[in-house]
Structure 1
Amino acid sequence: MTPTEAVASIESGMTIGIGGWGSRRKPMALVRELLRTDVTDLTVVAFGGPDVGLLAAAGKIRKLVYGFVSLDSIPLDPLFTQARERGELDVEEYDEGMFVAGLRAAAARLDFLPIRAGLGSDVLPANPRVATIASPYSDDVYVAMPALPLDVALIHMNRADPQGNGQFLGPDPYFDDLFAMAATSTIMSAEKVVPTEQLLHDSSFHTLLISRMFVSSVVETPRGAHFTTCEPDYDRDEAFQRHYVESAKDPEPWTAFTQRFLSGNEQNYHDAVEAFHQTEGAK
């Protein structure tokens, strides 16, 4: 599908999971396409990065379920920070282990999974819906991490085939397979869509992370993770990420940023990024 066709399946009020990790292999082309819609009132589940920042700034998020929101080389996403400080988001913030347990529970169609993470911490009083449970086999007590089921998952892979098998070629799968399995439907973008027999040309079968049985839509989006990493295809665009952060600090430069980079279609975005690097990007 095209990004527009794929994202058209997302409706206001849905719970969407966004794969990737911080500012690494985020499905940014799909996020930008979502920004172009009138969809709102979303519950977003993510190890967040600029995906969360952009959606929050656009008023798309009602509730955010997250382990962190970071740009990696820059500790905090400013747009998320502003929305959080203004109290614009209903939030559930979890320890990373708890967050993954919630995805695993949803993937297995369970109500919860027991986990030790969170015991004795402020995570529990901050999330009063999270209960503890006594072990039926010992005197131990565990956190009963509730499942995090998703209506739609958005993920980005290095390669995919037209049937929906997805391959990562970088250093980490970033739990994208759990997002796909926890969702009713999954939209998978990829740097390149290739015939199935070519998926093993660049690496071993261990990199075939996503099974077609969990994928509803396949979208070819070259540089679709920009400005986050998509190793080994490309690194994070650090100059552009710094520009994003600096622009987000004040309303006037942020308005200029959105008009320049986010007001058109995806090709307009990449053209504007190229023009940026020809002028400001080298400074």
Structure 2
Amino acid sequence: MIGAPRQLRLLSYNIQAGTTTGKYREYVTHSWRQLLPNHQRVANLDAIAELLRDYDIVALQEVDCGSLRSGFLNQAKYLASHAGFPFWHYRGNRKVGVIAHAGIGLLSRIEPSLVEEHGLPGAIPGRGALVARFGEGEQALWLMVLHLALGRRARAQQLKYLSGLVREYPNVLVMGDFNTGPGSRELRTFCDHAGLVVPAGDVMTFPSWNPQRSIDHILVSPRMDIAELGALPIRFSDHRPLAMRLNLNGAVELPEHSDGNQQQ
């Protein structure tokens, strides 16, 4: 429609290393899938890649960065290639020998002008965040991908560190698996310090077969204009993907989409 605002299509998804879980007991009965390669994992990745084709920027959590369980496949690279994203980055978080190597990923059709990796504090080392900038100056968009710890104390430490990375910027998105709800003390404190808001609505994303918890979030700067936010009824993982459409007004100026070569 003429005059309609340009929109940015965003998706945040914990893909559980390409493994489907349909019931709580499968965490035990199908635990071998977290250790060994299987044909279902590749089929799931192909289905996820088809889903991702509809988005401009995707934040991934629990991607395998290349270990035994994934058949030594970097899943961020695989999804970027099969979904047609020219720009991709990943950060390995936790590595268990050659068996598993969990991480986070960023896939984009827009070339970032900067991508940084940051290690996060916590009793168990390994977790980290990706921080990307799209565009330049006051109209640039800053985007953070993260997967926080299970423990409240560790999450609070991690969020305190992360708030210092983005508090100075006017246009910020923070996407990922926070392992905590929108009303938790640590998330409220983070939003206060970083100048961000949790969009209205308690969007349930976990578990995928019967969502009862809102632990996946896309936090935004107050000036941003959200057109739509919701969890998709997809069960390729134990989380449902969280999708957002963002209206881009004069506050944010982004480069055009690119069909260039993939990069890490």
The answer to whether the superposition gives a TM-score over 0.5 is no
Larger radius of gyration: 1
When you count strand as a share of all residues, which structure comes out higher?
2
Q: Which has the higher contact order (CA 8 A, sep 6+)?
A: 2
When you count helix as a share of all residues, which structure comes out higher?
1
